[in-house]
Amino acid sequence: MVYKIGGYVFTVEFAHLWMKKMGVDYDLLDDTGMSGELNRWFARREMTGVWAFPTCYPPKSRKLVIVIARKFREDPYSTPFRYSVYEEEPGDYEWKKRMMEESGLTDEQIPWATIADPFFEQSYG
């Protein structure tokens, strides 16, 4: 059983572009600070049902990304490497359109992904 999320993946570079457009000095922020800044951005716009946080993706890559999670829950049937995926739904894409408008990023720059065990609570061997 693992925690599983579905959402939009931002590279750190693209998150920096968004921060710059928002007028935030991202050089002073660590990965948690960037996520917090994005969560405040959502709150100011009364956009609920989303959560920004840092993780590594793909698993074992050690490549830091910021995920804008739209779906999240514990999945009793999944492991970090064997899990069902969350499908992107029309309501999710509406969120993405708002993010693209504000950030200036394109559809291709913000892919949808399902990530099992984003907090690395299971052993990766």
Q: Buried b / exposed e across 30-58, counting CB within 10 Å, b at 16+?
A: eeeebbebbbebbeeeeeeebbbbbbebe
Indicate the DSSP class of residue 59: T
pLDDT at 90 > cutoff 70: yes
pLDDT at 125 > cutoff 60: no
Cα 116 from Cα 84, distance rounded (Å): 9
For the chain, give the longest Cα–Cα distance: 43
For residue 118, whether the previous peptide bond is cis, meaning omega lies within 30 degrees of 0, is no
- Summarize pLDDT for 97-113 with one digit per residue, the tens: 988 988 889 999 999 99
Question: pTM for this structure?
Answer: 0.86
- Summarize pLDDT for 35-86 with one digit per residue, the tens: 888 898 889 888 888 899 899 888 778 889 999 999 999 999 998 889 999 9
